Amino acid sequence: MSQIPYKIYLSESEIPAAWYNVRAEMKNDIAPMLNPGTKKPVTLSDLEPVFCTELAKQELNNTDKFIEIPEEVRNFYKMYRPSPLVRAYCLEKALDTPAHIYYKYEGGNTSGSHKLNSAIAQAYYAKKQGLKGLTTETGAGQWGTALAMACGYFGLSLKVFMVKCSAEQKPFRKAVMETYGASVTPSPSMETEVGRQINKMYPNSTGSLGTAISEAVEVAVTSEGTRYALGSVLNQVLLHQTIIGLEAGKALEKIGEYPDIVIGCAGGGSNLGGLMAPFISDRINGRRNPYFIAVEPASCPSLTRGRFGYDFCDTGHVTPLAKMYTLGNGFIPSSSHAGGLRYHGMSSILSQLYHDGYLDEARSVTQTDVFAAAKQFARVEGILPAPESAHAIRVAIDEALKCKESGEQKTILFGLTGTGYFDMTAYMSYNSGTMSDYIPSDEDLERGFATMPSIEE
């Protein structure tokens, strides 16, 4: 019997020609986004001042199962895709498990994560519409970097509001974005109404994603020829990220494998939503029965401890409301939290799939356990993982160890979303033994829930 290779590559011509839109197949569609002013379901014309038109249409599309990937986007994909699907032989050996472990590695581009898959699509549609530029927010910096690359490629301007504490901790990230031509402003800034208000109310604010989003949206809607772009959470982003799962599905098919378990880390839900693509279709249509696990930080537990309801996507309440699992738009994770995935809400699509039992399980893990898994993985598989990705590694290892106990030979697929080169402060804290775990109390969470709007459904 010929052995399955370490890396299962597809050829360039096998890059999928269309993204998969799970909404066309979901038994219960997501609840509509609401206009923040009228609280009525948003229409295309509500979204058009914020997003470019083609993306606004994708955001609302619940009928087309496949949406063609424009040729210009496919050409860009060819520079760094198909991404490898790796059989984790060395990890399997180290764990002494009968499980077959595969990971889809998305860190092989300069931005260092899967975020480029959506960034290039969003920049393309903006260019096609004749816009001048985009605005966005970034937390850890991966999204800002990816969008800077994409805007640089299409000759668009980009203004990035970067969460202040992150901008201070990660000067190199800022330098990369600037190299690609973006301008980077620490948030909260004094350049926007929202930023000035937050600075007045909380003079020592180190920023949050929710505030940075408000600032970026404000600049987009008040500047001519400018729109806003978001790197996760939205339906359009999950759509673009299905390239990950569609490629993984094709590669697994080539070697005659099918995942029993599909694992992804979940911040806003885009990489997991994307990785699940062909497998969730099989599941919804009763063809196969893969088990899906979302992994989130114990310090920002939106699926495991959040509420399923309408909430604002930002702190300044300028964005539409989405029905999702959320900790409340005012929730801010503990400052000791180092591993990313710190957004208060979760993609409406993933939230609905979780609510309906298609996303089988959400599991929260503490950051010291996450970094232990990251280190173990780096030593045997060679890749230094992003802390976000290491959430998925943690659970993949735990599931593989269960297989060792039971003797079951399960096939496990997880998303290795990126590299950790810009996260060395967090690694240093783990290596020196100073990293701590903070799990929010019920009272902490109540304070977050109190910031959710009350919407009658």
* Contact set with ligand PLP (CB under 6 A): 113, 115, 142, 232, 265-271, 340-341, 386, 388-389, 417-418
Considering beta carbons, is residue 135 or 419 the nearer one to ligand PLP?
419
273 three-state secondary structure: helix
CB-CB neighbours of 428 under 10 Å: 12
Which string of DSSP letters, residue by residue, matches 430-450?
Answer: HHTT--------HHHHHHHHT
Query: CA 193, 198, 203, 209 torsion: positive or negative?
Result: negative
Let me know: does 272 contact 290? Beta carbons within 8 Å. Answer: no
Closest CB 417 distance from ligand PLP, rounded Å: 3
- Candidates 98, 95, 114; CA nearest to 106 is 114
Considering beta carbons, is residue 265 or 277 the nearer one to ligand PLP?
265
Considering beta carbons, is residue 350 or 400 the nearer one to ligand PLP?
350
Closest CB 313 distance from ligand PLP, rounded Å: 13
Considering beta carbons, is residue 218 or 423 the nearer one to ligand PLP?
423
Considering beta carbons, is residue 131 or 365 the nearer one to ligand PLP?
365
Considering beta carbons, is residue 82 or 107 the nearer one to ligand PLP?
107
Tokens, residue 368: 């010291």
Which string of DSSP letters, residue by residue, matches 342-388?
Answer: --SB--HHHHHHHHTTSS-EEEEE-HHHHHHHHHHHHHHH---B-HH
CA 367 to CA 341: how far, in whole Å? 11
Tokens, residue 367: 């950051």
Considering beta carbons, is residue 255 or 378 the nearer one to ligand PLP?
378
CA 65 to CA 23: how far, in whole Å? 7
Closest CB 115 distance from ligand PLP, rounded Å: 5
Closest CB 196 distance from ligand PLP, rounded Å: 28
Considering beta carbons, is residue 100 or 345 the nearer one to ligand PLP?
345
Closest CB 265 distance from ligand PLP, rounded Å: 5
Kindly state the DSSP code that residue 214 receives in the 8-state scheme. Answer: H
Phi, psi for residue 38 in degrees, rounded to 5:
-85, -20
Considering beta carbons, is residue 389 or 451 the nearer one to ligand PLP?
389
**3-state secondary structure string across 134-189:** EEEEECCCHHHHHHHHHHHHHCCEEEEEEEHHHHHHCHHHHHHHHHCCCEEEEECC
CA 293 to CA 399: how far, in whole Å? 10
Number of H helices, E strands in the chain: 19, 15
Give percent helix, percent strand, percent coil of the chain, each to the nearest 5: 45, 20, 40
Which string of DSSP letters, residue by residue, matches 19-69?
Answer: EE-GGGT-SSPPPPPB-TTT-SBP-HHHHTTTS-HHHHHHHH--S-SEEEP
Closest CB 95 distance from ligand PLP, rounded Å: 23
Considering beta carbons, is residue 51 or 192 the nearer one to ligand PLP?
51
Tokens, residue 391: 């959430």
Considering beta carbons, is residue 192 or 232 the nearer one to ligand PLP?
232
Residue type, 6: Y
Residue type, 139: G
Closest CB 321 distance from ligand PLP, rounded Å: 19
Tokens, residue 57: 């249409």
Closest CB 346 distance from ligand PLP, rounded Å: 8
Closest CB 88 distance from ligand PLP, rounded Å: 18
Residue with nearest beta carbon to ligand PLP: 418
